[in-house]
Structure 1
């Protein structure tokens, strides 16, 4: 288990518990002390995780052991057939998608995919999709509409790939076309932020009828480090930037950007992949049941009204 810096007190206690377990093989003498330390570790974990800062939640969203899109698909879906390619240029490994069933309900699943080691991270481009990734998502969403299948999108990206070649192939245009399509898609769209939700890279597959965030995730127009580098010309103020951006699930629920928060196991989703997937699956099934009652035109109206009502503005009066 990899621990974050603010989890160090918990790591120290769990290390001590492991040491005592090794010493007490076949012997119950140390059992009371082990139980005492376990209770202390649980209490400490509950105390720490009930008072997380926004930056600490950003760190949890990036934890290398968190479940990624393909992990959720494996744990939630009865079967999955991955579909490849955008039919224009290539197949983007940072964006995965395909046909799946969840408790017998057929859906089109699309999501960002990161890697766990150096080789797989390079293969998946660290979860940063190129234009072909968004065009693949566009193709799959059109297919979903053709066969009247709900669309499920799982967001987990530090942003769309900002490389020169991505810009040359129309990165902004590809994301814009997806937004245009999702605004009028005549099937339900359910979106869940399972990790990082950064900028256009996330919203490029994230315009849903129902939008949910997992408890320890973030969703913002810009990453804290990038915000810090723009405002303070250094990454050193990333914690202050995270606080100012109000990018956590709790913040976005209060701002009425999302529809709800999906709880994670104590300590983060990486602590229990199965429990995390079960929580996401439960919410997806609930949303599917609700949205299935809406006619296609009402789904479109619901989505347009939802995004049109976001934000606060004032109408200026006539000046004298």
Structure 2
């Protein structure tokens, strides 16, 4: 069934709050029915800080230094970019000196708030958050991964950023999460013609292209990257072995994030080529569906399909 990453994560969080009295939830005036349930049951461990993400980070730091496990919850561009200096100083730097457990949950990855315009589109977060030392960035593709991430974040010390899509989706068919956090990725489709390294919603887009690719005789290796800046490098290199072309598909701006690692791994392969398919380096003011915005900014499924087909022609 369809569900949001947010609701599945918060349901798991509520279950753990019933078992532990050291978990605190902070919200930057961002609600949900699951939030209402937590607020009603644990009014002394839920705080709505208002539209004040910088203060949310300050409060999270204070609670964490007192031994609490903290979850901060807000719209993705605001909990990353509005308060980036506070994240850098209070969390990334300080957590290197003091034990802390803080998870920042950003809802609205990529263009998932499609009709809200460029203020709510979130294309820079993967690059700026993954460049920070001591901050683990996770970019799940469907809600089946949310409980696993909740357990990891609540039990493992450190600073984490979870990039959640705002829309409900079905789980990606026939995929399981065995070894997901150990490797940092899962293989959605096994193949050797071309490797499609995808993250978040783009994993759904890639899987949606499978019928057309198979009709063209192409068997792609589709990799769903979740531990965005903490992937097991050796395991990823093994997954790319045998593929002569690597395409990165991400709902983000180009240059940064996982791209340097994929370039490195591609360069180490005999004759392997790397290419990224990302959002064009400009802001989208078009009003329309996610699919129409994708088509306008270089992420459209037809563009991806033609790029893959061109890959085969180049190798012929």
User: Which bin holds the TM-score, normalised by the shorter protein?
Assistant: 0.3 to 0.5
TM score, norm. by length of structure 2: 0.33
Structure number with higher helix proportion: 1
